[in-house]
Structure 1
Amino acid sequence: MLRPREGAEYSIGIYSGEVPWSISPDERIQNPVLTWRDVSDVPASMVADPFMICVNGIYYMFFEVVNLLNRKGEIGFATSNDGCTWSYGERVLKEPYHLSYPYVFEWEGEYFMIPEGSRGGGIKLYRADDFPRGWNRVAELLSGNRYADSSIFRYDSKWYIFTDSGAEPLNPKLSLYCADRLTGPWEEHPASPIVTDDPHVARPGGRVLVVDDIVIRFAQDVYPIYGSKVRAFEITELSSTNYVEREISSNPVLEAGGTEWRSGGMHHVDAHQTKEGGWLACVDGFYLRNSKKASS
């Protein structure tokens, strides 16, 4: 993740809703649920790009922590028993280069993560040998390019990755790759790139959802500034040769709100269906430090 401008402070909140593309602040929750002030093991300037996973009834959230000592993003985690109240744990992954967007997922009883490490090149897969800690690199899925906000999902017995392969943050290019196995080999989809020259909809903005055979992708709207909004798209046709999508009419899913912690913009969502049938989502937002703080 790249900060939109100097003075922007990112925090993490929890939203809820009946469907993942129509979510709002949860009345049970005092947002933001996590800020840089909650980070206890290093001086931090912000937290952002949250991804959740529920394991044995406990929610684990992984997110970017910007370490003030080296000005780099590292991956930390927090836990919650109910998805509403969160306790910071510690940093669990760092590299010589900036990390963000820790896309965590489970496959065949193991826990994996694809963090963005575009400054290190490629798309790297990590596995937790002692979840939620013990993350070790096990494969490089794609090499060479500087891929941003890579979002993996499985559909119809095949793996897919959306990624921003554009050269500039404000000029993203949405590319799509596919593979028969998680570790590859990965090949670019015949319909890729999916979006070019459209900063409103090209850059990935959170977890891709597959619900009742419906595939939803979220996109950051990086115009007029990085981190302004999140939009949602239903993928109506997806195969090894074809790709068709439509924008969901309730867009934007997330956007700036008043003079609160998210008053500057919002750019990320990871929604999970609860056992009651609704949806709980971790989101992030920013405000400019010279504006008034508030909660919602």
Structure 2
Amino acid sequence: MISIVLLLLVINNRTPFMQPEGGPWSVGFGESTVFPHKIPLEKNELYTFEELKKQEDSTMFLADPFFVKEKGIFYLFVEHKKRKPNADIALLTSTDGVNYNYKGVVLTEKFHLSYPQVFKYKNEFYMLPETKKAGHVLLYKATRFPYGWKVCDTLIKNRALKDPSIYLSDSLNVLVASDDYLNMYLFEADSLFGKWKAHKKEIALMGTEARAGGRFFADKNGLWLPVQNSTEGYGFGLSLYRFNFDNGTYTTQREYPFFLKKSETVKEFNAGMHQIDVQLIDGKYYYVYDGNRLKTNERKLNITGPLKWNYIDFKNWIYQQCGLFN
């Protein structure tokens, strides 16, 4: 009995059984002359869900921001949840990266949409959103950017995966996505429209940090990937992982634990944060991110979550110690 009590105390210390309840999500943005290893949340600009609600009264939150800059205009794509079962993809634009204007919904489906990773590939614009509820990883193409998004390919068939993040280059084409069981999978192909197949080391990460929280970012040392942390529930924080690829295999390393987490000073983010999109634009690093605020100051009891998450994290640790991921 004592050992069980001690085990529960250890679990509770790492992942509390009493967890806060998050409310609406908002987005923030900023820039830096160097890679932003620390985000000054208090100094950056915000676009809150209240601002969007003034234009779209049914707005419940906006989250999962991704952007592209084209011909001097910032195009910010977000998950837009209104008072209906499924979320859509909406667009905001800015000429200065500070003052954004809502342009409306640009993509809606019969199923839930989120995580609108938009990118330019061979002079065409594509979007790789989360389409888990469709049962496939679907790729969209803009027929008249930033509008007219149509499915142009199915990258991964018959797998319900969350938050797919893609990296494309002349020498490396990889994609990660996660399931509902705290596993992140890695896929590879010879091009965007090649045959995407599971890597021989299919599971890249597992546990409470096993879901992408933004696109890959390349530097001279390899690839960065933001990864969500859910030790205190969904949307609690974000860590940066280094992915290194060499001779057909790869390694992962958690280099910046809790790169983003709940803020004590910015009320819009006092519950947690879970995504960032960083790109080098015009010699500066521009970035957008999201976070949510506490719905109340009360905490709710969650027994199964901490038990499940700690079990999988322990299993993940054993796998790493035994080299089973290599």
TM range (shorter): 0.7 to 0.9
Q: Of 268, 271, 282, which residue of structure 2 is paired with 1:264?
A: 271
Given that 2:174 and 2:188 are in contact with CA atoms closer than 8 Å, whether structure 1 keeps it comes out as yes
Which residue number corresponds to residue 30 of structure 2?
Answer: 15
Question: Which digits, 9 at most, give the CA deviation of each residue in 1:135-155, with x for residues without a partner?
Answer: 011011111111100001114
Residue among 260, 266, 273 paired with 2:280: 273
Task: Check 1:5–1:93 CA distance in 2 against 1; reply closer, same or farther (3 A cut).
Answer: farther
Aligned to 2:219: 211
Q: Say if 1:237 and 1:212 are closer, same or farther in 2 by CA, change over 3 A.
A: same
Distance 1:123 1:155 in 2: 20
Question: Computing the radius of gyration over CA atoms, which structure comes out larger, 1 or 2?
Answer: 2
Instruction: Note if contact 1:16-1:23 (Cα within 8 Å) is conserved in structure 2.
Output: no
Contact 1:37 1:44 in 2 (8 A): no
Q: In the alignment, is residue 181 of structure 1 matched against residue 191 of structure 2?
A: yes
Q: Which amino acid aligns with 2:277?
A: D
SS in 2 for 1:183: coil
Equivalenced residues, count: 276
Distance 2:121 2:42 in 1: 30
AA aligned to 1:215 is L
Structure 1: state its 5+ residue gaps: 292-296
State the shift of 1:125 in Å.
Answer: 0.4
CA distance in 2, matches of 1:122, 1:12: 27
Determine the C-alpha separation between the residues in 2 that align with 1:91 and 1:127: 16
The aligned residue for residue 24 of structure 1 is 40
Measured in 1, the distance between the counterparts of 2:123 and 2:56 equals 30
TM-score (normalised: structure 1): 0.87
Structure richer in helix, relative to its length: 2
Give 1:126's aligned amino acid: Y
Residues 1-296 of structure 1: pairs in structure 2 closer than 5 A: 8-17=23-32, 18-25=34-41, 27=43, 29-31=44-46, 33-39=47-53, 40-41=55-56, 43-68=58-83, 70-164=84-178, 166=179, 168=180, 171-196=181-206, 198-199=207-208, 201-212=209-220, 214-239=222-247, 241-248=248-255, 250-258=256-264, 260-275=267-282, 277-290=283-296
Return the offset for 1:23.
Answer: 2.4
Secondary structure in 1 matching 2:201: coil
The Cα shift of 1:191 comes to: 1.3
Give the secondary structure class of the aligned counterpart of 1:192: strand
Runs of 4+ in 1 over 4 A off after TM superposition: 4-7
**Aligned partners of 2:76, 2:152: CA distance in 1, in Å?**
21
Percent identical: 27
Relative distance call for 1:208 and 1:238 in structure 2 (3 A) is farther
Structure 2 length as normaliser, TM-score?
A: 0.80
Unaligned runs of 5+ in 2: 1-18, 298-326
- Amino acid corresponding to residue 85 of structure 1 in structure 2: N
Do the aligned partners of 1:75 and 1:92 also contact (CA within 8 Å) in 2?
yes
Q: In the TM superposition, what is the alpha-carbon distance from 1:213 to its structure 2 partner? A: 5.7
Letter in 2 for 1:89: K
